[in-house]
Structures are given as structure tokens and as C-alpha cells.
Amino acid sequence: MVRRGTMLLVQALLLCASPFARAAVSAPEAELLKSTLTPLGAERAGNAAGTIPAWSGGFTGSPSGYRQGDPRPDPFAADRPLFSITAANAGAYAENLPEGARALFAKFPGYRMDIYPTRRSAAAPQRVYDSVFSNATRAQAGPAGITLGVTGAAGGIPFPIPKSGAEVMWNHLLAFWGPAREARLSTYVVSSAGQIDLTSAYREVADFPYYYPDATPESFGRYYFKTRRIEDAPPAKFGEGYLAWQPIDIARDKFAAWRYLPGEGRVRRGPSLSYDTPDPSASGFQTLDEYYVFFGGLDRYDWKIVGKKEMYVPYNNNRLVSLPVDQVLGPGHAKSDALRYELHRVWVIEGTLAPGKSHVAPKRRFYIDEDTWFAVYSDSWDEDGKLWKFGHGTMYVMPELPAVILGSQFVYDLILGGYVYGFAFNGEPVQYKVTPPHAPALLSPEAMAAQGR
């Protein structure tokens, strides 16, 4: 249920909002990040019912003997479900569920969500907290407008006290993953008939210059994220690669992408790997801007804050990636035993197609976790106004960083049936290894060509 005090706060913020560039928040407003708000801008207090606890610093520390890249244990393995939501009782919880989840309950009588105690495990290094505090009074929309870029921010989410939907979406795009990573990741497609296919497995190197140590708005450069991946499965895709750079201001710098095909032996500049371009690894179930629940440019939509709600969301899902894939993927939907859900507060953000723009999904709704600013769910409608896609993230605890990040993700096609499971590292001996920043040359087209050979 939407909290009345939260809604009044949101309404007051919206009255101050402008669809154009705005000044950063005032110094007195920023001081809320040291009192009633967490250092990242969430409500520090719990809810009135006591079902969401107060934030007390998150879950930090490393297991004894832990090395970066080792599989991370489930820190809350001893927890037991409080109750389950099923097709029989889903109506009683409808206000706390996204429309996509309600559709799965209506379609699959066996679908179930096990609800666990809420653990506000989200945390970040002190340097990130310090940067967020600085960003609050210096971050602004880019010169061409907020949907095209951000200026004056680095090292933390830019808008901890957001006043527009686009600012919340930028917080998601610029949420904290660590400075760099290495991982082997996979994508699986489950057809409407229940057949499971591994469609892609690849080794990824990714850097977040925006989060480099000592990054400033002037020093991190023009791209906030760079990623390179080289395919090693299935055999038909072995050696293929792509490189993508995400700009902080798309009015100034376009999305940069390159592809490497072994048969050609060279790298070609690719089309924009963003917006509604179909993901070639997802067999039509996912567009490229559905990766990470949402990824890429904001400029095709007008964004608004609908409000904040208490919702049952996938959280603290370390157990998920410890399971073999056949214990995660089932016909129609993910296996219910694999997932953990908790009650958390989320920002509800709606995007409607902007005048003169095009996209296969003219209306989208995102649910953004207040403690991390990662999107945990998305609902998407087709051009006929029919609910079409349901994006379902999972949240993964990395206490040694410390951080809670967006982990493996599902995208359901509610019209055709079937779904995709991506950013999966189930069973990998090295799982999401946080690393120092890589040498810039490693994330260049020339290095990708050499790696692909």
C-alpha cells in the first residue's frame, strides 16, 4: 500500500520539478542524507507495520578466507518463508505486486512467490556515500535536457533526492556495481513449449569509469560504462565478440558499439546496441534496452514519478546463482523454490512514448528499489495497450565490496509465452569478480579483435 506521508513528499517534489534542466538540490535538502534518509537517499526508517525494518548500515564484511570471484554464500540461508503468495490468494496482495507478476499468477496455477523477512542489506563504500552527498548539490541535467544526459556527477548516484522520473531512471543507470568486473555469463531461452536452450555464453570484461577510485565529474571521461564480451558457446558463436560504450551525454556522444565476427577476422563498427534493437542472444524475447531490466537511452520516453509503494520484490537472491540451471528454469516461469522475495519500498516510474519517437513498447513501468536504485521489475505494453513483457530482476549481495547489485534477470513474453534468463552465472567457479579498473586499451576495438582470434 502507498504510504500517505511518502505520497505527500513525492507530490511536493513534483510541484518543484521542471521538465527541463534544473538546479541541484539545496544544501539543507542534501543534509537529509545524514538524518532521515540513508546516504543513498532511501527512507532510513522502517514502515509503520514493522514489516520493513529501519536501515542500519546494510550487510558488510567478507566470509573468512573469501577471495574475489569465489561464489558468494547466501548470508540469510537460515531464514524461512513467512508466507507464500499463490494463484489462490494473489488478489489479496495485488497492490503489492507488479502487473507482470499478477499476469503470471493468472496464467500459471502453480506459480508461487515465497515471502521472506525483509533484510535491508544494501550498503556501499564510504567514498560512494561521500560522492552521493556531493552529487546532490552539483548534479544537473545535461545541456540538451535530462533524458539526454547528466552533468556534474561522478562516483555515486546523481540524484539521491529525485524530483522527476528521468532522474530516478538515471539513478538506476548509474547505480553502484563496483569499479570493474570480470565474469563468465550465460543466456538461456525457455520456449513456450518449455524447451531450454543455451543461446549464449561469454567471458565479459566491464569497467565503470564513473566509479573509478577518485573519479570526478571532470575526470571519468565521456562514457560511464564500457563492456567487452567474447562468446565461447554454443559452438556456432565461438569467438564472436562485441564492445559497447555507454555515454553520459547522448546529445554529445552517441552509443558506441563494435562487433567481431571470426569469419571476417576484423572488427566492424556496429549499429547502436540500445533501444528496441532485438538482442541476438534472446531469440526475440528481449530487446537490448531490457538488459539489466532497463539499459541505454532515456530519450524515447517521457518519464513521470507515479509514487512510492511497498512491494514484494526479489531480494538477497544469492542462493539463485548457486543452483544448477535445471533447478532454476521451468516451463512457463522460473521455478518458485529458486527465488526469494521480500517487502521493500520502490519508486514507481512510468515511461510513455515521447512525441516523434518510436519504440516497440510505447508504455513501460519500472519499479526501482529505494535502497540501491536498481530496477527490480518492469511492465511493458504493446501498441494495442496490451500487457506484453514482464522484466524480473534479482538482487545479489556482495558484502565484501560492500554492495547489493542487480543479478541475473528474466524477461517474460506474456503474449507468446516463453522467457529468457540472462546475466546468469550459475555454476561458474568464478562468479562476478570485482577487479580494479582495466587498462583502457583492453576495452578498445583493437584488443577485441586480438582476443577474438
Residue 179 has pLDDT above 90, yes or no: yes
CA dihedral (323, 280, 224, 139) positive or negative: negative
CB 413 within 8 A of CB 391: no
- Per-residue pLDDT band for 207 (boundaries 50, 70, 90) equals very high
CB 100 within 8 A of CB 107: no
Indicate the residue type of 386: K
- Give the mean pLDDT of the chain: 93
pLDDT attached to residue 273? 65
CB 234 within 8 A of CB 210: no
Q: What is d(CA 194, CA 182) in angstroms, rounded to the nearest whole number?
A: 31
CB 235 within 8 A of CB 198: no
C-alpha cell at 412: 517474460
Residue 126's Cβ-count burial label (10 Å; 0-12, 13-18, 19+) is exposed
The long-range contacts involving 440-444, CB below 8 angstroms and separated by at least 24 positions, are: 442/205, 442/228, 443/205, 443/207, 443/226, 443/227, 443/228, 443/243, 443/245, 444/243
Q: What is the Rg, in whole angstroms, of the alpha carbon atoms belonging to the chain?
A: 21
Reference 330, options 187, 194, 188, 192; nearest CA is 194
Backbone angles phi, psi at 399, to 5 degrees: -65, -25
Q: What is d(CA 97, CA 83) in angstroms, rounded to the nearest whole number?
A: 15
> Alpha carbon of 165 to those of 203, 216, 366: distances in Å?
34, 25, 10
Q: Does domain 4-58+79-452 have CATH number 1.10.490.10?
A: no
pLDDT attached to residue 448? 83
Listed by start position, the domains of the chain span: 4-58+79-452
> Taking residues 179-208, what's their average pLDDT?
97
Backbone angles phi, psi at 169, to 5 degrees: -65, -35
What is the four-CA torsion angle of 376, 302, 10, 295, rounded to 10 degrees? 20
Q: What is d(CA 42, CA 310) in angstroms, rounded to the nearest whole number?
A: 13
- How far from each other are the two terminal CA atoms of the chain, in whole angstroms? 55
Q: What is d(CA 308, CA 373) in angstroms, rounded to the nearest whole number?
A: 13
pLDDT attached to residue 272? 64
Residue 73's Cβ-count burial label (10 Å; 0-12, 13-18, 19+) is middle
Global pTM? Answer: 0.94
Residue 128 has pLDDT above 50, yes or no: yes
Q: Which residues pair with 404 in a beta bridge?
A: 397
> SS3 helix, strand, coil % of the chain, rounded to 5?
20, 30, 50
The DSSP call for residue 53 is P
C-alpha cell at 240: 564472436
Give the tens place of pLDDT for each residue, 135-158: 999 999 999 999 999 999 999 999
Higher pLDDT, 264 or 120: 120
Backbone angles phi, psi at 244, to 5 degrees: -140, 140
Is the peptide bond preceding residue 402 cis, with omega within 30 degrees of 0?
yes
CB 26 within 8 A of CB 86: no
pLDDT attached to residue 85? 98
C-alpha cell at 325: 540451471
Residue 12 has pLDDT above 80, yes or no: no
Reference 224, options 290, 149, 287; nearest CA is 149
pLDDT attached to residue 23? 56
The DSSP call for residue 354 is P
Give the tens place of pLDDT for each residue, 153-175: 999 999 999 999 999 999 999 99
Give the tens place of pLDDT for each residue, 314-365: 999 999 999 999 999 999 999 999 999 999 999 999 999 999 999 999 999 9
Q: Other C-beta atoms within 10 Å of 76: how many?
A: 18
Give the tens place of pLDDT for each residue, 224-249: 999 999 999 999 999 999 999 999 99
- Per-residue pLDDT band for 271 (boundaries 50, 70, 90) equals low
Q: Which of 150-164, 260-274, 372-386, 428-442 has the lowest mean pLDDT?
A: 260-274
Residues in contact with 253: Cβ distance below 8 Å, sequence separation at least 6, in sequence order: 222, 223, 247
* E strands in 120-217: 140-142, 145-151, 180-190, 196-207
